[in-house]
Amino acid sequence: MASTATEVEKAAPPPMPEAKDNLVVADVVLRFLVFASGLAAVLVMVTSKETQVVGQIPIPPFLVRRTAKFNHSPAFVFFVAALSVAGLYGLFTTLISLFALSKPGSHTRLISHFIIFDVLLLGITAAATGAAGGVAYIGLKGNKHVQWNKICHVYSDFCKHIGGSVAVSLFGSVVLALLILLSVRSLSKKIPRHNHSH
């Protein structure tokens, strides 16, 4: 009976593969969210164009039509470039992670390479989000101490696009942070633990 019980224990499949599969699925989902948030942020930003009649004196000769575009601000241009890279990176790594689902042994090797680029991309995305958010705040509130006028009371649709794009980018930054934590957790499970008890 003892030998039979031992054979049954040896034949029982370990629960680890299911946990590994769950980590891979979570990795795929998070990477797709990075792609989706990057794409959405870029699309909302590049469509932030609005034309209004402005002027210091409300008389026709002194009124001019001015258009607000994202490419009028270097911070917004940097934002579009950074989030475009994030979106492409998210798409590329999502496809690779999907491939890893069919080859479970390759997932750990992929994570060890991905985590370096994930950290780098998080830094770039966070910097771009902060830069765009700072310019957007000036547009919303202005700064009377240095005579920077607010514009969002004039270009309301433009500012709504900018605010929405920055919010989506912030969500993408949080997803990247979660992705890094997931990768660290996956790699930590591979570190052998030595039992010092005698």
For residue 68, the number of C-alpha atoms closer than 13 Å in the C-beta half-sphere is 22
**CA pair distance 79, 95, nearest whole angstrom:** 24
Going by pLDDT thresholds of 50, 70 and 90, the confidence category of residue 194 is: low
pLDDT of residue 78: 95
pLDDT of residue 106: 60
What does the block give as tokens for 153?
């009371």
**Section 80-103 average pLDDT:** 88
CA 76, 73, 60, 146 torsion-angle sign: positive
Going by pLDDT thresholds of 50, 70 and 90, the confidence category of residue 129 is: very high
Segments forming the whole domain that contains residue 94: 19-188
128 found inside a domain: yes
158 found inside a domain: yes
Name, of 56-60, 114-118, 169-173, 182-186, the range with top average pLDDT: 169-173
Residue 36 has a CB neighbour count (10 Å cut-off) of 18
Beta bridge partners, 53, equal 65
106 found inside a domain: yes
- On the question of pLDDT at 4 being above 90, the answer is no
193 found inside a domain: no
pLDDT of residue 193: 59
pLDDT of residue 59: 59
**Section 114-123 average pLDDT:** 90
Per-residue pLDDT reduced to its tens digit, 42-88: 999 998 888 776 655 555 556 677 788 888 889 999 999 999 999 99
pTM of the full structure: 0.78
- On the question of pLDDT at 16 being above 60, the answer is no
198 found inside a domain: no
Per-residue pLDDT reduced to its tens digit, 18-42: 455 677 788 889 999 999 999 999 9
Q: Are 68 and 151 in contact (CB under 8 A)?
A: yes
9 found inside a domain: no
Going by pLDDT thresholds of 50, 70 and 90, the confidence category of residue 9 is: very low
pLDDT of residue 37: 95
The total number of structural domains that make up the chain: 1
125 found inside a domain: yes
6 found inside a domain: no
To which H or E segment does residue 52 belong? strand 50-54
Tell me, what DSSP letter sits at residue 14? P
pLDDT of residue 167: 95
